[in-house]
Amino acid sequence: MKRATRNLLIGAGATAGMVGMGVLATADLMFRLSLDVRHRHWMERLMSGSAAAPYLQSPHRDAVEEAEASHWFETAKQPVSLRSEDGLKLRGWLFDPDCASPAPHLYAVCMHGYGGGPSDMAKYAHRFARMGFTVLVPAQRCHEPSEGRYIGMGWLEHRDLMGWVTLITASDPQARILLHGVSMGASTVMIATGEPSLPRNVRAAIEDCGYTSVRDQFLFNAKHMYHLPYRWMGVPVVDLMSAISRRVAGYGFREASCVRSLRRTIIPMMFIHGAADTFVDPAFLDRNIAACAGPDRERLMVPGAGHALSASTDPELYWSRVTAFVTRVFDL
């Protein structure tokens, strides 16, 4: 009897150890594939697969505008660069206003999402340029042509955004700045708005399909994209990914929180999300709004829109609301 009990305990311990090793191996693999650009080829395969399918397959009702904006982007862009706080060479593109009589000192900074690039923001940048803004479109760290190894999911990038804002205010102390971001770029913007050192020049921000925190986003993806059993696999894997990230990339997933930053946000904010988003939970929209400390908050949930597709699904609704918000806040 004693021998049977001992063998049972040994077997249970060995099984637990094997499960633990499997969870750790899965977490390390997921961290490398998701956040380490030395595995960029796997990352690109991931983004061209199921994650990107809704975007690629959904009809773009603004396809003509996207083509025109893409041409404008390539012909009008001017290179600009910045050295990040941790020594990376960051690059971006600057665009002059694209209207006859632009108001002075207006600037918009457009931040692209995970796995994308500055050209993804062409239609947004062109819209703001036509409103009279000088537009800056950075390439986020680890995304071409900027340097970097580990993607920060908005946490490391928000300090880069602060650097871009400082670059603008150094050249124009009277600058009035709009921040705009999509997906990871939206979370970059939200985290930046809670920075105590955010210059008063930043007058407003627009976030489009951002998440509440890096941990929440990876938990959502673990369940809905990778179909990991939530409690005994999803949570341990994501928390181990966070521990790995803290050790090698310098940040943990819990601290990389838009909700926590928004509690210090006082500038006017517009929150946008697609109701049919399967990549970033639409429920994050109201959690972010509820966390925002500023009294000037606008909400737009676009029916039927998938991830990063709000402007393409209903361009009239999207741009009527965005234009009205920007016009009001900047007194255009």
Q: Helical H runs in the chain?
A: 2-35, 40-47, 53-57, 63-76, 122-130, 155-171, 184-193, 214-224, 235-248, 258-262, 284-291, 310-313, 315-330
Find the CATH number of the domain harbouring 179. 3.40.50.1820
pLDDT at 2: 46
Q: Is the four-CA dihedral 307, 312, 314, 315 of positive or negative sign? A: positive
CA 189, 32, 109 angle in degrees (round to 5)?
20
Bond into 145 cis (ω within 30)? yes
Q: How many domains does the chain have?
A: 1
Residue 17 lies in a domain: no
CB–CB of 182/155 below 8 Å? no
pLDDT at 269: 98
- The pTM for the full model equals 0.90
Mean pLDDT of each 10-residue bin along the chain, 332 residues long: 43 40 77 88 57 66 97 98 97 96 95 96 98 98 96 98 98 98 98 97 98 96 70 80 96 97 98 96 98 97 97 98 98 93
Residue 222 lies in a domain: no
Residue 289 lies in a domain: yes
pLDDT at 182: 98
Residue 315 lies in a domain: yes
CA 34, 263, 157 angle in degrees (round to 5)?
30
CA 60, 185, 70 angle in degrees (round to 5)?
40
Structure-block tokens of residue 177: 């700045």
Residue 80 lies in a domain: yes
Distance CA 205, CA 189 (A): 7
Residue 202 lies in a domain: yes
- 10 Å CB burial of residue 278 (0-12, 13-18, 19+) is middle
CB–CB of 256/153 below 8 Å? yes
pLDDT at 47: 54
CA 56, 58, 63 angle in degrees (round to 5)?
85
Contacts (Cβ under 8 Å, ≥6 apart) of 181: 110, 111, 112, 113, 187, 188, 189, 190, 205, 206, 207, 208, 210
Instruction: Domain of residue 111: give its range.
Output: 36-213+256-330
